[in-house]
Amino acid sequence: MEPILPVIEEFPNDVTSEEGREVLLKVKFKGTPTPSFNWYHNGEPVTDDYAHELRGDGSLLLVSVEEKHKGTYRFVANNDAGTVNQQVVLTVAVEEARMPSNDTSAGKSGKNLIPVEQFGEFVANGHAKGNEGFRNQFMVRSISFTLFASYVILCYFC
């Protein structure tokens, strides 16, 4: 049988997603013999790992997108008849963490914004230490968890 060049029958349009969301880049392709395929992110091969699931049908699942996943994804299918490729651009909308502030120069909301990726550094460097709103926010969550855990333990012995 004569080889038939791969054909991409279904391919996603450019995608915008919020951080932490699942993104499926669904692909449908065919050819004779059955084409092999690869995905590339900004020119680098994509491999199965904690963030990417390469599916047998050619689709690529991004389990929980982060800002580092933004960019161009290129799908390449090839067989004995040749190679075809197509690309899609993923844009990741990054949310900012809002930190309470008593500083009135912070704007109408009275809150300072710090990028999510700097949140851990903000806490580690002690910036949250004197921030009462920050402390109260986490104290309430901590108390709620402690009460829930106590209830579970008490019910276990009921």
Per-residue confidence band for 143, with pLDDT thresholds at 50, 70 and 90: very low
Residue 88, Cβ neighbours under 10 Å: how many?
Answer: 17
The stretches of the chain forming alpha helices (DSSP H) are 119-124, 132-156
Each residue's pLDDT tens digit, 24-59: 999 999 999 999 999 999 999 999 999 999 999 999
Numbered ranges of CATH 2.60.40.10 in the chain:
4-93
Lowest mean pLDDT among 19-23, 48-52, 145-149: 145-149
Closest to 91 measured CA to CA, from 18, 13, 12, 10: 18
Q: From CA 76, how far away is CA 61, in angstroms rounded?
A: 16
Token match 């997108």: residue? 65
Q: Provide the CATH topology of domain 4-93.
A: Immunoglobulin-like (2.60.40)
Mean pLDDT of 57-80: 97
pLDDT of the residue at 123: 56
Each residue's pLDDT tens digit, 96-140: 655 555 544 444 444 455 555 566 655 555 555 555 545 444 444
* Residue 35, preceding peptide bond in cis (omega within 30° of 0): no
Each residue's pLDDT tens digit, 76-97: 999 999 999 999 999 999 876 5
Q: From CA 77, how far away is CA 85, in angstroms rounded?
A: 6
Mean pLDDT of 150-154: 46
Q: From CA 38, how far away is CA 59, in angstroms rounded?
A: 10
Q: From CA 28, how far away is CA 59, in angstroms rounded?
A: 8
pLDDT of the residue at 16: 97
